[in-house]
Structures are given as structure tokens and as C-alpha cells.
């Protein structure tokens, strides 16, 4: 049995995927035509050639500009439908999917348009793959904008499992959104946030997230390795770290794979995820495969990672059991 076949068959949960980051060039072109949006690139090859980034900021510029084609409920439906099909084909049984409401409401698209399209795709795919939504605040937007987003989400709060924090981390520490996370917890949402790799003040941001805001998971977060007290705390509290090797590969030559191995063997619950698969050249199985082929992760290690993905998910204990 090939390693890829083994990985695909391994039941996995995906805990860190931005639905807007699953927008493939093919769908981008189709939606641009349907909605009368003029794209700077005309062909799939040209679009792919424009995907050149070497840091978070250069990626985010491409990521946000690509979203201009997403306008109608149907567009968000198709986006999620395609992701769920791809994820299911790679052995994802359960996905907690990030979406960025402010990236759309700031363009005049209503919160309702976005979430209704996403929810319809999730409902339709239910027999093949289970999924929930996690709403992210854009950390480079204002606190007031985050407050309004929490308000706009209220009518849909039963269909949103948690809140996260993403986008440009520089000058936008976790503490900027402390009150929003408090309010989110009070409203019954689970919590996670991005602590991207090798940021200025990475360790300080992780400390804010874990010690002050007390999030349940960290997205990326591998810089905990720089502070052994943090490693011990994450281990004791069973905080999940949702790591994204191919995404890391754009800003760090070793994808943080050696650190992942170290954390895994220290008993930290790391999972492997695809982040923005349409932009980082691969879905979840491709991420597992990179670890196996380039960094000699063994089948046992991959199995442990897949188990961690369910353990650190926000499924109920009973639901987890059905997958493990
Ligand atoms: C993201 Cl890689 C990454 N980092 C921060 N925010 C994001 N949103 C989508 N992808
Ligand atoms: Zn991310």
C-alpha cells in the first residue's frame, strides 16, 4: 500500500482550513464570468503564476483580492461544496471550517448571504462528511468591526461552533480582542486563534492567547517550543495546535516539521491541516504526505496526528468516540 493511499484512508479531522483559501483558480474564473468581475489574470496558468508570496502580508494581499468574485449565496455554496468534496475524497470525516465574515461584509456582501451559502453546502454533504463553521475576526480590522461581526452572527449562533482570529498579526496582538473573546465565550462559542509562526513577539502573543484569553486551541502556535513552560501548559491542558506544513513551507524552509516531531513526542496534541489549500498547493493528505516523504514521519506518527485531530476537535465526547 502506498503512503498516499494509507494517508487518504486514515480517518482525519480538519481543524484549520479557511474556506476562502479553498477557492481554486477554476472556480475563480467561473465566478468572475458569472458575476461580471474583471480579473487581472485571465487563465488558470496566469492565476497560478500570480501566487507568489514569501510572507504573511504578501499572501494575504492575494487572498483578499481573490475574494472579489464571491458575491452571491450561490457562490459561497459552490465554494464550500467543492471543498467538502475534495476533503472527503482525502479521508476527512469531520471539518471545522473557518470563514472570514468581515472580508465580505466590508465589500457590501451581507453576513447572511455568506453563511447561508456555506450552511447549505454543509447540510447537503452531511452523508459524506460532517462539518461545522468557525467564524474568524480579522485582527487587522478595528475592535468596533469585530463587535459588529459578533452582533451580525447572533441570529446564526446555533450554527456557528466557535470563533477564531486571523489575518495580519503584526501590531495586532490577541489582547486587542480580549473583550470580544470574553463575549464570545459568554455566548457559548468555542475559541481558538492564530498565533502564526515566527512573528515578532510570537511567544508573547501565545502567552496572551493561553494565559489571558484562555483559548481552547492555537492555530499554528509552534513557537511554544521556545518556552518550555508553555509546552508543559499546553500538554497539561490538552490544548490542540493546528499546524499547516505546506503553508509553513512558504515562510520557513523546513515547514516546522522538526519542531512538529519534537512537540508530538513531547505529548503535545498537534494536528495537520491545509490552511489555504488552493494557494499552498495541497489539501490535507498532501500535507500529511509532505511530512512522510520529506521528514520521514512514520505511519505511527501520522496515526497519532490523525487521532489528535479528533481529540482536539470540538465534537462532543460521544461524537469523538464514533470516529476514534
Ligand atoms: C491565513 Cl496563513 C494565514 N494566516 C493568517 N490569516 C489567514 N487567513 C487565511 N490564511
Ligand atoms: Zn490559517
Q: How far is the CA of 103 from the centre of ligand 1 (A)?
A: 12
Which residues is 195 bridged to in the sheet? Answer: 220
% of the chain exceeding 90 in pLDDT: 98
* Ligand 1 binding pocket includes 21 (Cβ within 6 Å): yes
* Ligand 1 binding pocket includes 190 (Cβ within 6 Å): no
* Ligand 1 binding pocket includes 196 (Cβ within 6 Å): yes
- pLDDT for 270: 98
- pLDDT for 287: 98
Residue closest via CA to ligand 1's atom 7 equals 167
| H helical segments located in 167-214 | 178-186, 202-207
- pLDDT for 1: 83
* Ligand 1 binding pocket includes 219 (Cβ within 6 Å): no
Q: What is the pLDDT of residues 16-56, one digit of tens each?
A: 999 999 999 999 999 999 999 999 999 999 999 999 988 88
* Ligand 1 binding pocket includes 275 (Cβ within 6 Å): yes
- pLDDT for 295: 98
Residue closest via CA to ligand 1's atom 5 equals 167
Strand order, beta sheet including 190-195: 12-18, 92-99, 130-138, 162-166, 190-195, 217-220, 240-243, 270-272
- pLDDT for 54: 84
Please give the model's pTM, rounded to 2 decimal places.
0.98
Closest CA to 272 of 83, 91, 9, 12: 12
Q: What is the average pLDDT value for the chain, to the nearest integer?
A: 97
- pLDDT for 279: 98
Q: What is the pLDDT of residues 236-277, one digit of tens each?
A: 999 999 999 999 999 999 999 999 999 999 999 999 999 999
Q: What is the pLDDT of residues 209-235, one digit of tens each?
A: 999 999 999 999 999 999 999 999 999
Residue closest via CA to ligand 1's atom 4 equals 167
* Ligand 1 binding pocket includes 70 (Cβ within 6 Å): no
Q: What are phi and psi of 24, to 5 degrees?
A: -75, 150
- The packing angle between helices 257-265 and 299-311, to 10°, is 70
- pLDDT for 164: 99
CA distances from 1 to 6, 8, 295, 299, 303 (A): 7, 11, 19, 12, 15
Q: Relative to the CA of 247, which ligand 1 atom is closest?
A: 2
Separation CA 141–CA 154 (nearest Å) = 20
Q: Which fold has domain 3-323?
A: TIM Barrel (3.20.20)
- Please state the domain extents for the chain: 3-323
Cell output for 136: 474568524
Q: How far is the CA of 165 from the centre of ligand 2 (A)?
A: 9
% of the chain exceeding 70 in pLDDT: 100
Amino acid at each position: 500500500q502506498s503512503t498516499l493511499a494509507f494517508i487518504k484512508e486514515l480517518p482525519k479531522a480538519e481543524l484549520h482550513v479557511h474556506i476562502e483559501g479553498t477557492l481554486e483558480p477554476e472556480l475563480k474564473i467561473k465566478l468572475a464570468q458569472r458575476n461580471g468581475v474583471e480579473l487581472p489574470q485571465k487563465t488558470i496558468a496566469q492565476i497560478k503564476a500570480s501566487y507568489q508570496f514569501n510572507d504573511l502580508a504578501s499572501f494575504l494581499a492575494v487572498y483578499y483580492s481573490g475574494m472579489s468574485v464571491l458575491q452571491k449565496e450561490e457562490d459561497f455554496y459552490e465554494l464550500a461544496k467543492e471543498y467538502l468534496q475534495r476533503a472527503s475524497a482525502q479521508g476527512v470525516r469531520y471539518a471545522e471550517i473557518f470563514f472570514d465574515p468581515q472580508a465580505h461584509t466590508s465589500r457590501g456582501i451581507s453576513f447572511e448571504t455568506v453563511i447561508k451559502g456555506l450552511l447549505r453546502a454543509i447540510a447537503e454533504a452531511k452523508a459524506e462528511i460532517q462539518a461545522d463553521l468557525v467564524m474568524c475576526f480579522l485582527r487587522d480590522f478595528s475592535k468596533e468591526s469585530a463587535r459588529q461581526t459578533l452582533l451580525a452572527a447572533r441570529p446564526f449562533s446555533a450554527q456557528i461552533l466557535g470563533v477564531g482570529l486571523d489575518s495580519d498579526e503584526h501590531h495586532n496582538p490577541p489582547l486587542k480582542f480580549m473583550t470580544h473573546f470574553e463575549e464570545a465565550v459568554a455566548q457559548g462559542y468555542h475559541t481558538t486563534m492564530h498565533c502564526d509562526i515566527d512573528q515578532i513577539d510570537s511567544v508573547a502573543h501565545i502567552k496572551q492567547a493561553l494565559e489571558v484569553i484562555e483559548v481552547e486551541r492555537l492555530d499554528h502556535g509552534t513557537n511554544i517550543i521556545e518556552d518550555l513552560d508553555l509546552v508543559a501548559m499546553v500538554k497539561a491542558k490538552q490544548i490542540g495546535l493546528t499546524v499547516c506544513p505546506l503553508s509553513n513551507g512558504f515562510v520557513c524552509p523546513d515547514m516546522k516539521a522538526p519542531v512538529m516531531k519534537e512537540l508530538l513526542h513531547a505529548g503535545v496534541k498537534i494536528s495537520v491541516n491545509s490552511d489555504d489549500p488552493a494557494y499552498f498547493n495541497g489539501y490535507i493528505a498532501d500535507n500529511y504526505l509532505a511530512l512522510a516523504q520529506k521528514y520521514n514521519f512514520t505511519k505511527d506518527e501520522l496515526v497519532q496526528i490523525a487521532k489528535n485531530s479528533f481529540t482536539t476537535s470540538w465534537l462532543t465526547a460521544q461524537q469523538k468516540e464514533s470516529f476514534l
